[in-house]
Amino acid sequence: MKDSGGLFERVDTELAGCYELIPRRRGDNRGSFIKTVHKDAFKELELETDFREQYYSVSRKNVLRGLHFQLPPSDHAKLVYCTEGRIFDAAVDLRQGSASYGRFHTCELSGENGKMLYIPRGMAHGFYTLSEQAVVMYNVTSLYDAERDSGILWHSVGIPWPVPANEQPILSRRDKGFCSFAEFSSPFTKRALLTGITGFVGSHLAEKLLAEGWEVHGIVRENSDTARLKEKFAGRITLHVHSVRNSLNSILAKAKPDVVFHLASLYLPSHAYEDIASLVESNVTFGTLLAEAMVKNGCCRLVNTGTSWQHYHDRQYSPVNLYAASKQAFDDMLQYYREARGLKVIELQLFDTYGNDDFRKKLLKLLKDCLNSGSGLAMSPGEQLLNLVHIDDVVAAFYLAGGYLLAGEYDKCGTYAVASQEEISLRELAGKIEKIAGSRLNIEFGGRPYREREVMHPWAGGHPLPGWECRVSLDEGLAGFFDAGRQ
């Protein structure tokens, strides 16, 4: 359940992305007042807000309308409510790959209860009239398209319609002629291909995509450790092994992704001579081969991952280390594919990411281990400022970027900073963690020097992805991270 400043209460259903909305009702001796659409509140509740049409239907008792939807690319999200009378409303998940595919949600909508049902893209909708007459309002995010207006047979998915025994609902000839769900071949399949799917961010993004009904494919290397991934997703994702360079062409041909999320990289805060070949291979060569395979296989949508470390001292480009330089080198490769090959790219440049089940040996994991073991930890003097972004917010940025590309909103292509508005010094962070945990950290500040080209102030020159902002506060995120550690 989620609330939006008192205007609407969002009640989650068993279908991901489908919500019951309960608006705030104001009343006096004259009657009542209900607000049905509020762009800012809907944005806070993570709903599509660009409604292109509004219309209503008037139905008499025992009329059943449905189950209706529009086919891609004219598919739409729908907001339904009843201003007069009562209806039994239903939504059916038609998104292949969704955990709730073929399942339905039902509820009663009426002028009295004021409840609304928000139905995302990829679902069918229908209702049965319970009252003598019902007036039903619809807000939809695409215009009516007669060629793509479609449906499935009303009784083919097991919805418990409250039709009286020995009666038949009143149906249109068109609604009687729809195919059954069993005969229906769903076009509502969004395919994502992820590199770096075994990593912390990649596995969380895969989880989000699956929950939203995407078909998820991942690229792994022959020596990748996929045990954790296979245990977590239990056959719900398809993994492709990249063993030789030209295999990326065959992987793209098999996966046929709508969007590619490129998260794989070799992260090294500092390097040795023998690391250079691996850095270039992982962060430049592999990505370039991926871009080439994409354009050869007709896939033009890429969400790429950069780093704030490409902007030392807030410069437009100044690499903190060779890792950041290799990320920039791939950006330069991508420029060719953008200009010459029509690749549409949104790049998200990340700061420090964290969250539950983070297995990486990074700062917060080190501090958690120090807290749990009581062992000493030598650290720098600790005056550098950190910008920590929770994994839920990071995943939200990637998901939003992929959605923009999928919707053809290519004016959003560009480079964006996935940054929190909160900055905190390492010393202050340690103090905050001690308060949360109720115990002391055995840290020796100044026990080691600052690194070469230490980032004392995080990059401040980036712009956020339109429509995205941090929602998890540092206090909330740290509490969850260290509570999980204690459990």
Domains of the chain: 2-176 (2.60.120.10), 190-486 (3.40.50.720)
CA distance 379 to 382: 7
Catalytic entry in 138, 354, 399, 404: 138
- Residues 338-353 have pLDDT tens digits of 999 999 999 999 999 9
- Other Cβ atoms less than 10 A from the Cβ of 448: the count is 12
pLDDT (tens digit per residue) in 408-430: 788 999 999 999 999 999 999 99
Of the listed 19, 68, 323, 390, which one is catalytic?
A: 68
Would you state the structure tokens that stand for residue 462, as one six-digit string?
A: 């980036």
State the pLDDT confidence band at 243, using cuts at 50, 70 and 90. confident
Contacts of range 449-452, beta carbons closer than 8 Å, 24 or more positions apart: 449/380, 450/380, 450/381, 450/384, 451/269, 451/270, 451/380, 452/270
Indicate the pLDDT class of residue 1, thresholds 50, 70 and 90.
Answer: low
pLDDT tens by residue, 108-137: 999 999 999 999 989 999 999 999 999 999
Find tokens 């009542």 and name the residue. 32
Could you give the CA distance from residue 143 to residue 55 in angstroms, rounded to a whole number? 11
CA distance linking residue 398 with residue 465, whole number of Å? 10
Give the list of residues 6+ apart from residue 56 with CB closer than 8 angstroms, or none: 83, 135, 136, 137, 138
Angle at 443 (CA atoms; ends 440, 449), nearest 5 degrees: 160
CB neighbours of 12 closer than 8 A, spacing ≥ 6?
1, 2, 19
Q: What's the chain's average pLDDT?
A: 92
Q: Locate 187 and state its tokens.
A: 């076009």
Query: Could you read off the pLDDT of 285-328 as tens digits, one per residue?
Result: 999 999 999 999 889 999 999 999 999 999 999 999 999 999 99
Q: Which residues of 200-210 are buried (b: 16+ CB within 10 A; e: fewer)?
A: bbbbbbbbbbb
Summarised one tens digit per residue, pLDDT across range 176-216 is: 999 999 999 888 878 899 999 999 999 999 999 998 878 89
What band does 43 get if pLDDT is binned at 50, 70 and 90?
A: confident
Neighbours of 171 (CB within 10 A): 18
pLDDT score recorded for residue 97: 64
144 noted as active-site residue? no
Task: Let me know if 68 is a catalytic residue.
Answer: yes
The string of pLDDT tens digits covering residues 369-398 is 998 898 999 999 999 999 999 999 999 999
